[in-house]
Structure 1
Amino acid sequence: MAGLALWERPAEAAGTAAFDAARERWVSLLAGGSYNAAYTDRTQAVEGSASAVLRKLKPAPDRPSLWPDLPLDNPRTGNFNRAYNRMRTLALGWATPGTVMHRDSGVAETAVMALDFLYEHAYHEGLKRRDSNWYWWEIGVPRALTDTCALLYDGLPKDHLERWLRPLHRWCPDPERRVSHPGVVETGANRAGKATAVAIRGLLTHDARLIKRARDAVSDLLRPTKGSGDGFHRDGSFIQHDVYAYTGSYGVDYLESVAKLIAVLARSPWEITGIGNVYDIVDRSFAPFIFDGLMMDCVRGRQISVQGHRDYHSGQKAVESILTLLETAPERHARRWRPMVKGWLTRNQISPVGTLAPLASMAGAKALLEDLSVPVGPRTTGTYVFADMDRVVHRRPTWAYAIAMSSERIGAAEAMNQENLRGWYTGDGMTYLYTADLTHWNDDLWPTIDPYRLPGTTVDTRKRADLPYGKRRLPPTPWAGGVALDGEYGVAAMKLIADGSSLRAKKAWFLLDDAVIALGTGIAASDGRRIETIVENRNTHDRHPPLTRGDGWVHLSGAAGYVLLDGADAKVIREQRTGHWRDIDKGATTGGDNTPVTRHYTTILVDHGVDPRKARYAYAVLPDASIAQTAAFGGRIEILANSRGVQAISRDDLLAAVFWRAGVVETAYGPLAADGPCTLLIRRDHKGVRLAVSDPSRTADEVRIKLPWPVKSVKESDRGVRKAKRAIKVDVGGSRGHARTAVVRV
């Protein structure tokens, strides 16, 4: 909340004061306000990092380099980008109240020398890219450089400032265009990042045209994407690089940039208007994927392989962005967000201080935690189907379960800049179970887990090479998606067409209030290799917790119960695995180190044998279940069908089915039929029959559903649902896999 007094000036005052006030507001967002106890932990962290940068600074013009480990002669190494990031770290130390170097004139003089050096040897308007990463030139360095100059502004000679910023006229003149690839229109996080650099350059140089250009570019981003492609979609999906689910990486970068620009330009002559949609985005796109402050890995793309960017880093950026937006959010949003964020901060125990701190917005977080009028919000619950990015999230009060799928629309895994080298199966139906163990996914899991045995996947056990740079694998099938009902139940399904293998399978998940039922059918391969379905592969850190086995079930203490529902025998493997972050990320500026890390794993799998022809599986995952609950579960669920045509279950008053094509399934109430592909949920209560239907294949125009009970009338419905001769007809053409719901009388 620091710095709000700067906005007491009238918004019409567009002179020097308006530029300076906005710049000072930007600095307060980066470095915090006046020093107080709330900032102690963050201040120490900032001071430590900045002191290390300063201590190791050893300019060598003949090499050239500012730091011995970052020679600047070859831009392909990305060292110049890393050098500017270090300058930002140093500037943050100088500008942060409470550090030993706060506004130290000697430190400012050293920073001026270093920025002069970088301009001469690494980044000026006359240099060529030499096939290095365009991102460093057009976003990475401009963002770090403008932040550095803003933080150091009061200690800089202004003629030097103009010189250092001159390269941005060439490399980042327009948020909407890519200099290195003419014709490319920037979208999503890339446009938001460029808009931020352009806006801050405008504030630093008192150029209102640049600020307006940035404002207009951001305003375009606030509208939902139409059709496919980059940006936020109406169902909450976020796509970057045309075909990848990236809410938790590029999406967070977008949210951070937009939130800060909204705050910085609020009540200024350049205020960003029409921002209502950004508040909806928090609820629709981010809240479902944040579990106690952690960002789910199923939407972090290749960033899961980056050692310095764990789920809590992405979660922290999202939390900071929401705290920033709270300052301008309408009360109808703020009423929900305050308890929600307070719940995240309260339950998160990862950082040394016991919350998501150290946050740049630590004062706001502390104020929220100490505000007795704001309750600690419970975990978000509900079932969310993101049809436009092939993701489904199922959230209950004590656990959450996410499913990452792929199709001809959404890529299975992105490998770029030598990152995510072994993410082969992360989009092949991988499942992500979140429990009270908030360290499971971030405790060195990705370099140590067996990448051939990711939970939820059905895999060919062949050995594979690292994913090549820029390869896009879009499985040649439209089948991926699902449907949700009443925010409590869900169905997800995908057709698996394996990469470089003859393996085929049809996979379905039925998401219940206390369990997830997974069915697989039509599992076939002919390459002479063993095929496995991975029920679970749990990181148990530095030990093997108690494991209990019964007839057709396994219970893993601290995680879940696992029940084989078709009489199959589960194979259990307990092992220690050692890996290196460098194994999965060799990127120039992100690459991990070669320090060996070891973790314990419990793997539960179904072995389908070599070259199965018509193999199947059926199992239940029971998060937080006791041993007794696990042992007793098998009789509480009925599998109605697990064939190539239909997969279906029933439990109490719920029917759930995946019709891969027209078919019929017998239920206790009578036959349930569909004349085309769909996913279907049906729940009968005293009010009638509630149903939800979608077509994940996106091939049908209309689906006729014959319920086990004759239909009398349609009481409530979405558009395109109607009665038809004691059945229901649902228009699904053009729905893009999204649900149609109805309440009918039977």
Structure 2
Amino acid sequence: MIHPLSRRSALLGASAVAGAALWERPAEAVSAAAFDAARERWVSLLAGGAYDPGHTDKIQAVEGSANAVLRKLKPDPRRPSLWPDLPLANPRTGDFNRSYNRMRALALGWATPGTAMHGSPQVAETAARALDFLYEHAYHERLDRRGSNWYWWEIGVPRALTDTCALLYDGLPKDRLERWLRPLRRWCPDPERRISHPGVVETGANRAGKAMAVAMRGLLTHDARLVRRARDAVSDLLRRTKGPGDGFYHDGSFIQHDVYPYTGSYGVDYLESVAKLIAMLARSPWEIPRIGNVYEIVDRSFVPFVFDGLMMDCVRGRQISVQGHRDHHSGQKTVEAVLTLLDSAPERHARRWRPLVKGWLTRNQAIPYGTHAPLASLARAEALLADDSVPVGPRTTGTYVFADMDRVVHRRPGWAFAIAMSSERIGAAEAMNQENLHGWYTGDGMTYLYTDDLTHWNDDLWPTIDPYRLPGTTVDTRRRADLAHGKRRLPPTPWAGGAALDGEYGVAAMKLVADGSSLRAKKAWFLLDDAVIALGAGITASDGRRVETVVENRNTHAAHPPLTRGERWLHLSGVAGYALLDGAEVGEEVKVIRERRTGRWRDIDKGATTGGDTTPVTRHYTTIVIDHGADPRKARYAYAVLPGACAERTAAYRKQVDVLANNGTAQAVSRGDLIAAVFWRAGSVKTPHGTLSADGPCTLVLRRERGRVRVAVSDPSRTADEVRIRLPWAVRSVVKGGRGVRRAKKAIKVELGGTRGRTHTAVLRV
């Protein structure tokens, strides 16, 4: 059924532009065909191409959403509202932004081949009257945003509005289209400027999102200058930053809001926008230059964090609390962007990406890619899966230290392990717009174990997990208030980072300075080929409260899996083995808690447009805790996590690794010819091969192979200009290494000053 709207909004004429900034048309001449071709490429990315009967379910879903919008459409100019549940009088609610999103859903149904409403003149006319109504009552150039979220005015609505106009373009009256787009002259005139906060220069995802809206407005109104402005703004984004602040860094880190790791949220939005802009402007007068950098960004910044099509939560920031944006949503947007870039990628990248993406799509059967993907992207994915010449790529393996955002990722063939740290450079947790209210400890050394259970992190974990007992953290058990909007906590310590060797071994370390507590600790993780060794030392507090270290807190969904316990070890079926090591406190044992936990998404996200629902959800958890007691004094822990190990292997593991040191000076482990250590200050450690020492702070990994030693060194504290390391073996020469590594008598010296905590590697003859 078609719902006609009042035509009085169509009487809005030229007087509506009073006070708006009117820009001159550019002098350059570009054919109308160039604008139309680019716009049509954009529409094909949104709505797909010709009707494909193989996509009937997807087409029906698009049609169902569009019909729901039509069915509920009840314009009321007195209230005013287009839909009863979205009144437009108060912009602080964000309902005007939601209204434009519904218009986009309607336009998508109209533009998608195969829907019953495809190309319908009646639906197009209804949509046009609805856009007239929104222009009059919700979004025009003379309005005041009245303290509402700037994002809705400058990015949210402009993106939804330009998408809607592009999708409906062939069915819209062009004179009215110009009027609907007129507010963008005020609210989104330039990708690089924030109108609501003068002086703010847009970066990262915000600039990319604005560039999309500006480019699309230029194409819709045949304004070449706008398209060029958008192209240039995106081209600037492709340059790596040296920091501090927002952008992509040389080591692959991505920062948004100055101090927060956001690869999996704002970074994904950036990649998606840039990929689509590249595709839209390809073979046009506005092709984006320097796009080669975006291919490097995919490999360096995104691939390490995608696990079988899921985006790791350790880089999704406050979005982990948003019910409608889980790891598979961010992962599928990443897959979509890579599939879009494949059309333009050089063959050296495409050869690697095709098997990689095919592997992601093939292994993730729990959440099929087509669940959320647009039709055009779904068609690309299906073509890739059907191409027998492309093999199914294995999981990415390697050890990645993202020094510029305090994240470390360790990936093995059967599992992955990520560590989220914080420091005086990187914020511990962001809470904005009443989102991520219980994210207190997500940046305090939280660890993320990924296994074949691809639903662990997205199966209602965040509203149901005990937020005081996140895996890997050492916490004061005090009660906490909800995180405040915009509050930044940068722990007053420079210590966070690590080193990686040969993409197979690594070490990470952070100094914990707890928020609102006297709790202090030195935490280290040693990343081996089959296990992660976690050491903690100097755990001290004086607030009269218990302190705990959380070994694990596993979401096991609808039931408790079998749990086997032995002397100082336990095994959780289908997940991992856990073993206390000799560097733990004498007599210390672990406490296991098995419980059903119930929570609501609304408890952790009360945002105006993202807030979760109030429906209780319940999940089973197995929590493994080391209790350090009240007011511990230099307490410590040492345990191993063995992903995928059987109970027998877990029971025997204590004999396979040696904890060489676990104190306030050094933490170190060895196994066979591998030694890894954290020196918090100058000190020495006795190893099975001799003494290892350093004259300053550093993390290092050594591996001996016959008469040579491979070494990786970094300074996570960024305080040492140079460190002298004496190995258990006399160094004869530096066979291979950068200019910052040199032999010094029988030791080596590594120049670390100004290297931003990055890893230096070398091969030594000993």
Q: For 1:66, which of 82, 89, 92 is the aligned residue?
A: 82
Q: Matched residue of 1:630: which SS?
A: helix
Residue in structure 2 matching 1:693, options 707, 713, 716: 713
Q: 1:658 aligns with which of 665, 678, 691?
A: 678
1:176 alignment partner in structure 2:
192
- For the 8 Å contact 1:42–1:360, the answer to whether it is kept is no
Looking at structure 2, the residues matched to 44 and 432 of structure 1 have their Cα atoms a distance apart, in angstroms, of: 37
2:699 aligned partner: 679
Map 1:558-577 to 2 at 5 A: 558-565=574-581, 566=584, 568-577=588-597
Aligned to 1:6: none
> What residue identity is the alignment partner of 1:738?
R
Tell me the distance in 2 between the aligned counterparts of 1:173 and 1:356: 31
Instruction: Give 5+ residue unaligned stretches, structure 1.
Output: 1-11
Q: What is aligned with 1:725?
A: 745
The residue aligned with 2:598 is 578
Long gaps (5+) in structure 2: 1-27
Paired AA for residue 234 in structure 1: H
Alignment of 1:164 with 2:184, yes or no, is no
Cα deviation per residue 1:21-41 (whole Å; 9 max; x = unaligned)? 000000000111111144333
Partner of 2:431: 415
What is the aligned residue count?
735
Instruction: Please give the alpha-carbon distance, in whole angstroms, between the structure 1 residues aligned to 2:746 and 2:357.
Output: 48
Q: Deviation string for 1:339-395 (max 9, x for gaps)?
A: 000000000113367887565411110110000000000000000000000000000
State percent identity of aligned pairs.
Answer: 81
Aligned-partner SS, 2:265 = helix
Once the two structures are superposed, what CA deviation does each residue of 1:696-723 show, in whole Å capped at 9, x if it has no partner? 0000000000000111000000221000
Partner of residue 481, structure 1? 497
Alignment partner of 1:624 is 2:631: no
Question: Take 2:485 and 2:620, find their aligned partners in 1: how far apart are those partners?
Answer: 31
Amino acid at match of 1:731: E
**1:100 has 2:127 as partner:** no
- Post-superposition CA distance 1:664-701 (Å, at most 9, x none): 00001110000000000000003610000000000000
Q: For residues 759 and 29 of structure 2, what CA distance do their matches in structure 1 show?
A: 50
- The 8 Å contact of residues 724 and 747 in structure 2, kept in 1 or not, is answered as yes
The answer to whether residue 500 in structure 2 is matched with residue 454 in structure 1 is: no
For 1:72-87, list aligned pairs within 5 A. 72-87=88-103
Alignment of 1:412-451 (within 5 A): 412-451=428-467
Give the distance between the partners of 1:447 and 1:81, measured in 2 at CA.
26
* AA matched with 1:193: G
Distance in 2 separating the partners of 1:550 and 1:559: 17
Deviation at 1:13, TM superposition (A): 9.7
| Counterpart amino acid of residue 718 in structure 1 | G
Paired residue for 1:393, among 391, 409, 416? 409
Say if 2:541 is the partner of 1:528: no
Whether the aligned pair in 2 keeps the contact of 1:13 and 1:269 (CA below 8 Å) is no
Q: Which residue of 2 aligns with 1:668?
A: 688
How many Å separate the matches in 2 of 1:552 and 1:149?
64
Which residue of structure 1 aligns with residue 7 of structure 2?
A: none
Q: Letter of the aligned partner of 2:659 in structure 1? A: I
Which residue is equivalent to 1:370?
386
Q: How is 1:457-476 mapped onto 2 (pairs within 5 angstroms)?
A: 457-476=473-492
In structure 2, the CA distance between the partners of 1:681 and 1:209, relative to structure 1 (3 Å rule), is same
Measured at CA, do residues 152 and 743 of structure 1 come closer, stay the same or move farther in structure 2, by a change above 3 Å? same
Aligned to 2:395: 379
Partners of 1:355 and 1:13 in 2: CA distance: 43
Which residue type is aligned with residue 311 of structure 2?
M
Q: Is the contact made by 1:506 and 1:521 (CA closer than 8 Å) also made in structure 2?
A: yes
User: Would the aligned equivalents of 1:175 and 1:214 in 2 still touch at CA under 8 Å?
Assistant: yes
Q: Hey, what's the Cα distance between the residues in 1 that align with 2:719 and 2:706?
A: 34
2:667 maps to which of 647, 668, 671: 647
Matched, 1:703 2:723: yes
**Over residues 139-184 of structure 1, what are the superposed CA-to-partner deviations in whole Å (9 max), with x where a residue is unaligned?**
0000000000000001101011000000000000000011111111
Q: CA deviation at 1:53?
A: 1.4
Q: Is the CA contact (8 Å cut-off) linking 1:78 and 1:589 kept in structure 2?
A: yes
Cα deviation, residue 632, structure 1:
1.0
Asked if 2 retains the 8 angstrom alpha-carbon contact of 1:292 and 1:343, the reply is: yes
> How far 1:468 sits from its partner (Å)?
0.4
Task: State the 1:195 CA deviation.
Answer: 0.4
Deviation at 1:60, TM superposition (A): 1.0
AA at the equivalent of 1:577 = R
Q: TM-score if structure 2 supplies the norm length? A: 0.95
C-alpha change, 1:359 and 1:403, in structure 2 (3 Å) is farther
| SS of aligned partner of 1:247 | coil
Q: What secondary structure is seen at the aligned counterpart in 2 of 1:575?
A: strand
1:511 aligns with: 527
Question: Do 2:48 and 2:375's aligned partners in 1 also have CA atoms closer than 8 Å?
Answer: no
Equivalent residue, structure 2, for 1:603: 623
TM-score (norm 1): 0.97
Per-residue CA deviations over 1:82-131 (Å, capped at 9, x if unaligned) read 11111111111111111122111221111111111100000000000101
Name the CA shift for 1:17/1:312 in 2 (closer, same or farther; >3 Å): same
Alignment check: 8 A CA contact 1:681 1:693 kept: yes
Q: 1:611 to 1:538 in 2, by over 3 A?
A: same
Assess, with a 3 A threshold, how the Cα gap between structure 1 residues 158 and 185 changes in structure 2: closer, same or farther: same
RMSD in angstroms over aligned alpha carbons?
A: 1.2
Do 1:481 and 1:492's aligned partners in 2 also have CA atoms closer than 8 Å? yes
Match of 2:214 in 1: 198
